[in-house]
Structure 1
Amino acid sequence: MIELRPIAFGDGPELYQLALEIGPGENGFVNGLYAGQYSEFESKLKSYIDMSAGSNLAPNLVPQTTYLLLIDGYSAGYGKIRHRLNDQLKRHGGHIGYVIRPSLRGMGYGKLMLGLLVQEASKLGIEDALLTCNADNWASRKIIEHNDGRLAGTDAGTCRYWICTG
């Protein structure tokens, strides 16, 4: 069974293990849930849940919902949808970011997750979603292009793609 749903406090232990396996980030993706100690992770989890409601946002942040991808009840990865863009996100980050657990990469879950995130972006009223990735991240570029991403350009080693959510 495949499920994509917003993260919740009850996901803590499972999500923490996922964040640890992913590590601090790579290829331009920053794993904001990564933490060395579980107590630090719990604080980050609370802030991510608050962000989805637009609560307690720092001035440079926008509302963002974080989703957990579950495959037969096992966390395969997580993704973020930013409800709107600021100037920084227009340059790098975009509307959607996602990551798959390293032990499950190469199995099609990235393509699946991005497709589901595009559907969720549409429900949030985002008609055209911006995604960015490192120009040399060919795996991510293939996933975005598989999901009808149109390359809008490359600047300073970052590719900018648009996906129509309709």
Structure 2
Amino acid sequence: MNCELRKLSPDDGGDIYDLLQELPREENGFINGCNGKTYDEFKKWLITSNNVSNGIELEEWMVPQDIYWLYIDGLPVGMGKLRHYLTSKLKEEGGHGGYAILPSHRNKGYGKTLLKMLINCARDMKIDRFLLTVQNHNTASIKVALANNGRIEKMDNQRHFIWIDC
């Protein structure tokens, strides 16, 4: 099995568009803002997302964020987000990032692989500790975080706060 993490590019094409149409629009707190968009809207979204990654045209509440695609044997099967730093709001909801695997490719260990690769990207960005805020009912994601040496530091009535040393 060949696993590859590719950073979003404005030149991404149909394979990524198809991935984003199959990934749910919102699931367990992970937002896929491209689900339901036309191909032309997707191409504009890529440019906007690339600008966000570079800190260009950020809204007041935003931080720079990179988007990545997990490819397995040449096919995109997942999406990950990595925020460059945390605000006080992101420490309570959102964390450093999140990930989603296509429903048709779940239960194959790809979530664990994707999170591990995101943690490595965070380390390269000089992030020492990676925070995931996982909804309490999302037991699959909690298991993925724990399998990546995550430690539950607190829980509230909505979320687990899981820190992973980079």
Q: If the TM-score is normalised by the length of the shorter chain, which range does it land in? A: over 0.9
Identical aligned residues as a percent: 41
For the residues of structure 2 that align with 1:63 and 1:30, how far apart are their CA atoms? 16
Q: Determine if the alignment matches structure 1 residue 150 to structure 2 residue 139.
A: no
- Find the counterpart in structure 1 of residue 76 from structure 2: 75
Given that 1:33 and 1:45 are in contact with CA atoms closer than 8 Å, whether structure 2 keeps it comes out as no
- Residue identity in the other structure for 1:77: G
1:112-157 per-position Cα deviation (integer Å, ceiling 9, x unaligned): 1101110110000100011111101000000000001110111231
**3-state secondary structure, aligned to 1:148:** coil
Q: Determine if the alignment matches structure 1 residue 114 to structure 2 residue 115.
A: yes
For the residues of structure 2 that align with 1:51 and 1:142, how far apart are their CA atoms? 30
For the residues of structure 1 that align with 2:89 and 2:53, how far apart are their CA atoms? 19
- Find the counterpart in structure 1 of residue 95 from structure 2: 94
**3-state secondary structure, aligned to 1:69:** strand
Deviation at 1:34, TM superposition (A): 2.0
Unaligned runs of 5+ in 1: none
How many residue pairs are counted as aligned between the two chains? 165
In the TM superposition, 1:18-57 aligns within 5 A as 18-57=19-58
Given that 1:93 and 1:132 are in contact with CA atoms closer than 8 Å, whether structure 2 keeps it comes out as yes
- Residue identity in the other structure for 1:65: D
Give the TM-score normalised by structure 2. Answer: 0.95
For the residues of structure 2 that align with 1:25 and 1:62, how far apart are their CA atoms? 20
Give the TM-score normalised by structure 1. Answer: 0.95
For the residues of structure 1 that align with 2:43 and 2:160, how far apart are their CA atoms? 33
Deviation at 1:39, TM superposition (A): 2.0
Deviation at 1:21, TM superposition (A): 0.5
For the residues of structure 1 that align with 2:89 and 2:39, how far apart are their CA atoms? 30
1:45-73 per-position Cα deviation (integer Å, ceiling 9, x unaligned): 11111111111111110011111111111
For the residues of structure 2 that align with 1:47 and 1:35, how far apart are their CA atoms? 17
Deviation at 1:33, TM superposition (A): 2.7
Unaligned runs of 5+ in 2: none
- Residue identity in the other structure for 1:13: G
